[in-house]
Every structure is written in structure tokens, then in C-alpha cells.
Structure 1
């Protein structure tokens, strides 16, 4: 079994009502691999957690780590799980709220870049955060996570 199998992430999908529809807050993944990509490069703010940590607590912790802001209070709508093509299982909840993307202070990660250079660089976990309507969000979100948008839309009818 691959070391990548069994990895789990949890996150919060913030949403707000806009006109007669919904908008969701998504983050564009930081780092050099996603710098020039749109489709499949946007994600629910989320992160990995250990099996001993409850997924709900991990989702709230990761929201703070990824965005630099406390997670909103409010009713959490369970959106269930999806399995991404990389084998990671992602669990998410939706919470209605609002925040200004300009207020976000993203967390960072370090990696060797360029590859095999022996140099490490620091990159933001999310290099952009934006409110997107559900149709636009479906166009750019990690493919498996589109199920979260569908489940949110069903809940909000």
C-alpha cells in the first residue's frame, strides 16, 4: 500500500447568499505546481489531520491555519466525504458566513524548489482566496470536491 493511501483532510466551505444564488469561498493552491493553473487548482480550505483528532476539530483548526482567521460560528452542514484522485479522503462542512478575502493571511509551507536544487523556498498554502458563484466554482475546484458544491446546493434549496 502506498504511503499516500489513507491520508485524510478536513475543511470548512464558507458560503453566503448572493442575489438568488450562493457563493462559496475557495482558495487557489499555492506553490509552483499550481501557479499558472485555474481548473482543478481551487480548493475548500482544508488540511491533513491525524486519526486521533476528530475531523470537525481538524476542519476548524485548518481553517485558521490556511486563512489566518478564526472559523465562523454557525450551523455546520455536513457535506460528507470525497476521495480525490491522489487517494486522499476529504471531509467537509459548510458554514454560512462572510469575510473579506483581503483580510486573509495564508499559512505557508516549505519545499525544495527548483527540484533537486538543494534549495528550499517558502510558499503560501493558498495564494489567492475568492468568493465564487457555484457555476464558476465547479469549473475550477478540484474535481472530486465538486460533490461538496452539489451537496451544499441541495441543502440550500
Structure 2
């Protein structure tokens, strides 16, 4: 079991155009980059987030990771805490929601390097997120990796309350 921790920001905005019943907002998700995710759409999207060290405040890390993954400054708050959830690998993830609008075309993704193809000795660079898009909550449920759906439920509860 790992003791790694990640923090991230879930952007939401008023839905553009006629919204589906009960779907007055949209959320911004990022499609995970790299060769393992390139052909996966459903279950291949995530909330922009990343790891942080024990000496870094989680909200500061969430803001930093947003910039690293999206390439844009994080939106100003208020930041609404959606709490923590443990991912299947044991990582603890904490997410804040923030109302903001962002044009996905402005994204300049951060990158990571890995050996590809495996055991080839060749290092290649890939985007952390290869694209971002806005989704109504019901559509987002099918796109998100399953372990992060809890944050959609928490956002819905917060907005209904």
C-alpha cells in the first residue's frame, strides 16, 4: 500500500446551451496522455491533479498541478473542498471544486518521459493530458476513471445544498 498523495482542481461552470434535466453545470476533465491511454475514451479521463510532498499544502499543490498539467494559471477561488478519497492503488486524493470557465483550445499540456516501447531503451516524451473538455455530469461519469466519480457526486451534493 502506498502513502502517496495527490491534489487537484475540478472546474465547473454553468452548462452552455439547453442543459439536460438536472445537469445545470459542466465539469472540465482531462484525457490522460501517453500510449496506455491513447485508444481509451470511456474511463480514460481524470480530474487534473498530481502528487505532492508532506511539506506542501494540498491546495497549493492542487493549484501548482493544475498549471503543470493544463499549462494555464489556476482559476481564482473560492475553492470548495470535495474531500479525500483513496484510489485502488492506495493513493490518497484530495480535490477542490472551483467555478471557472476555460477554453480547452488554450491548454498547453505538461509532459512526462517514459521508455516506449517497453524494454526498447528509447525514451519518449508524452503529454500528461492530451486534451481537456467540458462534460455534463452524466457524460462525465462514463468518461472519468471509476475511482474519481465520487468527486462528481460530492460536487452535485454541494451544489444542490
What's the TM-score bracket when you normalise by the shorter of the two chains?
over 0.9
Please report how far the alpha carbon of residue 74 of structure 1 lies from its aligned counterpart in structure 2 after TM superposition: 2.2
Report the equivalent of 1:129: 132
Report the equivalent of 2:144: 141
Gaps of 5+ in 1: none
Gaps of 5+ in 2: none
Q: Map 1:78-97 to 2 at 5 A.
A: 78-97=81-100
SS of match in other structure, 1:65: helix
- With structure 2 as the length reference, what TM-score do the two structures score? 0.93
Structure 1 stretches of 4+ moved >4 Å: none
Q: Map 1:8-157 to 2 at 5 A.
A: 8-18=5-15, 19=19, 21-157=24-160
Task: Count residues in correspondence.
Answer: 154
1:57-97: CA deviation from partner (whole Å, max 9, x where unpaired)? 00000000000100001211100011111221110000000
- Please give the alpha-carbon distance, in whole angstroms, between the structure 1 residues aligned to 2:50 and 2:9: 10
- Please give the alpha-carbon distance, in whole angstroms, between the structure 1 residues aligned to 2:56 and 2:118: 33
- With structure 1 as the length reference, what TM-score do the two structures score? 0.95
